[in-house]
Amino acid sequence: MNDALPKWADIALIPLLNLTLALIVSGLVVLFIGEDPFEVLSLLVEGAVGSADGWSYTLYYATNFIFTGLGVAVAFHARLFNIGGEGQAMLGGLGVALALLYVPWPHWSLALLAAVAGAALFGAAWAAIPAWLQARRGSHIVITTIMFNFIASALMVYLLSRVLLVPGAGGSPETARFAAEANLPGIGDLYALLGWGCVERPIASVCRAPLNIAFLLALLASVGVWALLWRTRLGYEIRAFGHSEPAALYAGISPTRIIMMAMLISGGLCGLMAINAVMGEAERLVIDPVQGAGFVGIAVALMGRSHPIGICLAALLFGMLYQGGGYVEFDIPAISREMILVIQALVILFTGALDNMVRVPMEALFLTRRRPEPALPLTATRSDGDPKDRQVEP
């Protein structure tokens, strides 16, 4: 009975309950190490959304998670579990670097177009190989995409330490900085444009926050994914294939084509994450530009129920956890980086893996609240005025 819950409960109530449970358990863990959970929570919220710079960082992280979340969600709709967002985003970063390092773009807008093409193309290409293996050889996509994360990571180390390494940089394996013309407008530029002053704070200033125009690109991508899935013929076929492969075959939908298309789009979206992290923030290619966002994307897609609106909200939540977590770490030394990871992991655990723990009792609750209707309200029999029939019509 998948229709047991009203839609608002499915998309809002259940995630909120999951989140509450995760926070309660996190609170217990914080209590266990001798800190005040309420203080930690209030610091976390303050750090994430309590100031302009907090917001900027939160939205910057959220941008990464929107891209990877969308990517994972498109594959989910074709019932493909793309765990390779991490590697695809790394390759996206390579695409961005190649597009920006060797061409002197006169303006950031042209550079952005080239970088988008490079990021999407490289991300998609990295997803294409596991997709092809799945479609043609039946190699399980979970296994192959996860292996491709390792290959991507090794490839990046090789390229950055041997091939793309800037001469004489010494030490950190990274490329040269991109040309200043290729720098994306960020939140600081917006502040300058509007003539607002920046408040300098101990760890951050809104003018140095990495939030950039890629955030708008992420929102645009969300609309695009929605239109793709629910308005285009390809989306119709992807979702049909995801619901039932035998039905897709019956309808003449080619599984190979759907697996390839869904994974190419998925990999492309994951690759686009590099626009934000590589082009917008680092402004050069560093050794690990993704920093786990590919995996967080899985949690974001799960929590957002693979719908762009849900994904944006879930990405915002995880952005808050990332940014707020760093803030708490700074203020309460006992809450280490690892503690923040534990809290994030608990959120992923409760929203993703333990979803049914809340869902099943909630469904039962909603079912009992509804007044029982007669058996088979949807029967095919034509009522001919038999009093019994009339009596059971709702």
Partner 1 sequence: MSPAGNGGDAALAIELRGISKAFGPVQANRDISIQVRRGTIHGIIGENGAGKSTLMSILYGFYRADAGEILIGGRRVEIPDSQAAIRAGIGMVFQHFKLVENFTVLENVVLGAEDGRLLKPSLAKARRLLKQLADDYEMDVDPEAVIEDLGVGQQQRVEILKALYREADILILDEPTGVLTPAEADHLFRILRGLRDEGKTIILITHKLREIMEITDTVSVMRRGEMTATVRTAETSPEELAELMVGRKVLLRVDKAPATPRDVVLEVRNLRVVDEQKVERLRGIDLTIRRGEILGIAGVSGNGQSELLEVLGGYANGTGTIRMNGREIDLTGSASNARTRRARGIAHVPEDRQREGLVMDYSAWENVAFGYHSDPRFSSGLFMDHAAMRADCDDKMHRFDVRPPDPTLAAKNFSGGNQQKIVLAREIERNPDLLMIGQPTRGVDIGAIEFIHEQIVALRDQGKAILLVSVELDEIMALSDRIAVMFDGRIMGERLPDETDQRELGLLMAGMAGEAA
Query: From CA 164, how far away is CA 175, in angstroms rounded?
Result: 6
Residue 81 burial (C-beta neighbours within 10 Å; 0-12, 13-18, 19+): middle
CB 82 within 8 A of CB 295: no
Question: Angle at CA 352, nearest 5°, toward 241 and 86?
Answer: 75
Return the range that interacts with partner 1 (CB under 8 A); candidates 26-34, 316-324, 352-360, 382-390: 382-390
Q: Which of 244, 334, 345, 353 binds partner 1 (CB under 8 A)?
A: 244
Binding track, positions 100-139, relative to partner 1; x by CB under 8 A: ----------------------------------------
Residue 390 in contact with partner 1, rule: CB under 8 A: no
Q: Is 234 near partner 1 (CB under 8 A)?
A: yes
First CA to last CA distance, the chain:
20
- The residue within the footprint of partner 1, chosen from 240, 296, 299, 314 (CB under 8 A), is 240
Q: How is residue 268 written in tokens?
A: 């492309």
Cβ distance to partner 1 smaller for residue 140 or 201: 140
Give the x-and-dash track for 328-367 against partner 1 (CB under 8 A).
---------------------------------------x
Sign (positive or negative) of CA dihedral 332, 31, 295, 322 = negative
Shortest Cβ distance from residue 1 to partner 1 (Å)? 6
183, 205, 254, 291: residue in contact with partner 1 (rule CB under 8 A): 254
What is the nearest approach in angstroms of partner 1 to the Cβ of residue 140? 18
Of 24, 88, 61, 66, give the one whose Cα is nearest residue 265.
88
180 or 376: CB nearest partner 1: 376
Q: Measured from the CB of residue 251, what is the shortest distance to partner 1 in angstroms?
A: 4
Q: In terms of Cα–Cα distance, which of 228, 305, 263 is closest to 69?
A: 305
Q: Which of 83, 25, 70, 66 is nearest to 319 (CA)?
A: 66
Q: Does 233 bind partner 1 (CB under 8 A)?
A: yes
CB of 9 to partner 1, least distance (A): 14
Q: What is the DSSP letter of 176?
A: P
Q: Which is nearer to partner 1, 233 or 337 (CB)?
A: 233
393 lies in the binding site for partner 1 (CB under 8 A): no
Residue 386 makes contact with partner 1 by CB under 8 A: yes
Amino acid at 227: A
C-beta closer to partner 1: residue 20 or 244: 244
One symbol per residue from 202 to 231: x for binding partner 1 (CB under 8 A), - otherwise; what is it? Answer: -----------------------------x
**Whole-angstrom Cα distance, residue 181 to residue 275?**
15
Q: Does 36 bind partner 1 (CB under 8 A)?
A: no
- Residue 195 Cβ vs partner 1, minimum distance, rounded to whole Å: 43
Residues that bind partner 1 (rule: CB under 8 A) add up to a total of 42
> Which H or E element spans position 242?
helix 233-243
- Which of residues 337 and 368 has its CB atom nearest to partner 1 in the complex? 368
186: three-class secondary structure by DSSP: strand
Assess contact for 335 and 120: CB atoms under 8 A: no
Q: Does 236 bind partner 1 (CB under 8 A)?
A: yes
3-state SS, residue 289: coil
Per CB under 8 A, the list member of 216, 247, 341, 360 interacting with partner 1 is 247
The answer to whether 281 and 212 are in contact (CB under 8 A) is yes
Question: Can you name the residues that pair with 197 across neighbouring β-strands?
Answer: none
Q: Are 340 and 329 in contact (CB under 8 A)?
A: yes
Interface stretch with partner 1, choices 36-44, 207-215, 274-282, 370-378 (CB under 8 A) = 370-378
Alpha-carbon torsion angle 58, 59, 63, 65, nearest 10: 30
The residue written with tokens 């039962």 in the block is 364
Q: Which residues make up the interface to partner 1 (CB under 8 A)?
A: 1-4, 231-234, 236-237, 239-240, 243-244, 246-247, 249-252, 254, 367-368, 370-384, 386, 388-389, 392
